[in-house]
Amino acid sequence: MNKPSRLPAFNPEQASAEQKAMLDAILAGPRKNLNGPFVAWIHSPQLGELAQRLGAYCRYQTGLPLRLSELAILTTAACWQSQAEWHIHLPIALEAGLPPQVAEQIRSGAAPEFTDEDDRLVWRFASELYQGKRVSDAVYRQACSRFGLQVVVNLVALLGYYTLVAMTLNVFEMRAEGQLSLPFPEPFTG
C-alpha cells in the first residue's frame, strides 16, 4: 500500500549513535530486516533496542514450535486488525504448516475448525486472554500440562509483545514492505 505512515522520513545516514546501534542490532540478529515496528521505534532507540531484544526472544525462543508461535501472532494480528503484522506473519505461518482455511477463519473472526489439538489450545488461550482479559482455569491447566509452565509464561510474553507490535503498527499507520492489499477494513479514513 502506498499510504504514507504518520512517521517522519528516517534517513539512516543521519541517525544518532543510539539509533545506529539499534539498527545494527536488528540487522545483525535473526530478523535481518527492518520490516515491522522498528522504523517507529527508531524514534525512541532505547525502547527500540529493548523491544527488539524482547521480540527476538519471544519470536524465536519461546519453546513453542514455529507453527504455534505464528498462530499466536496471527491471533494477535486479527484481534488488533493489524494490517502489516498479518501481512508479515501469514506466509510464515502457512509455511510452518498452519492450514490456510484456519488462517482465513482467524482473519475473518470466525471460530477456527482445528484438526490439531495444540493449535486449538494456543488459539483458545490467546482468544480467552484477549476477549476476557483472563484465561480460564481449564485452559490454563491444559496449557501447563501440555507445554509446561515456562512455555506458558513465554506464550503470555509472546502475546504481549505482538500486541505492542500491533499497536505500534496501527497508531503509526505502518504497512509492510511489499504490502499491496489490506486484510482488514480500516476503521478510520482520513
In a domain, 33, yes or no: yes
Residue 1, pLDDT score: 41
**pLDDT tens digit sequence for 121-179:** 999 999 999 999 999 999 999 999 999 999 999 999 999 999 999 999 999 999 998 89
Residues 54 and 124 in one domain: no
- Cα 34 to chain centroid distance, Å, stands at 14
In a domain, 113, yes or no: yes
What's the rounded Cα separation, in Å, for the pair 73 and 78? Answer: 9
Residues 46 and 99 in one domain: no
Hey, is 10 helix, strand or coil? Answer: coil
Residue 13, pLDDT score: 87
In a domain, 190, yes or no: no
The pLDDT mean for the chain works out to 92
* Residue 109 clears pLDDT 80, i.e. is over it: yes
Residue 3, pLDDT score: 55
Give the confidence band of 27 by pLDDT, cuts at 50, 70, 90. Answer: confident
On whether the CB atoms of residues 177 and 31 are closer than 8 A, the answer is no
Least confident of 60-64, 108-112, 166-170, 184-188: 184-188
In a domain, 76, yes or no: yes
Residues 85 and 165 in one domain: yes
Residues 81 and 146 in one domain: yes
On whether the CB atoms of residues 52 and 100 are closer than 8 A, the answer is no
Residues 74 and 51 in one domain: no
What's the rounded Cα separation, in Å, for the pair 139 and 156? Answer: 13
Residues 37 and 107 in one domain: no
Residue 189, pLDDT score: 64
In a domain, 135, yes or no: yes
Residue 190, pLDDT score: 58
What's the rounded Cα separation, in Å, for the pair 91 and 31? Answer: 15
Please count the structural domains in the chain: 2
Residues 105 and 160 in one domain: yes
Residues 47 and 29 in one domain: yes
Residues 151 and 98 in one domain: yes
What's the rounded Cα separation, in Å, for the pair 127 and 120? Answer: 10
Give the confidence band of 11 by pLDDT, cuts at 50, 70, 90. Answer: confident
What's the rounded Cα separation, in Å, for the pair 66 and 42? Answer: 27
Residues 48 and 72 in one domain: no
What's the whole-model pTM score? Answer: 0.92
DSSP 110: P
Least confident of 4-13, 41-50, 63-72, 100-109: 4-13
Could you tell me the CATH number of the domain that includes residue 79? Answer: 1.20.1290.10
Dihedral sign for Cα atoms in the order 56, 61, 66, 69: negative
What value does the mean pLDDT take over residues 44-55?
Answer: 92
Residues 49 and 135 in one domain: no
Name the more confident of 162 and 31. 162
Would you tell me how many other CB atoms lie within 10 Å of the CB of residue 151? 17
Residue 188, pLDDT score: 75
In a domain, 189, yes or no: no
In a domain, 93, yes or no: yes
Residues 99 and 41 in one domain: no
Percent of the chain with pLDDT over 70: 97
Residue 162's alpha-carbon distances to 13, 168, 187, 188, 190, in angstroms, are: 29, 10, 20, 22, 26
Residue 119's domain comprises 66-171
Grid cell, residue 13, equals: 545516514
In a domain, 166, yes or no: yes
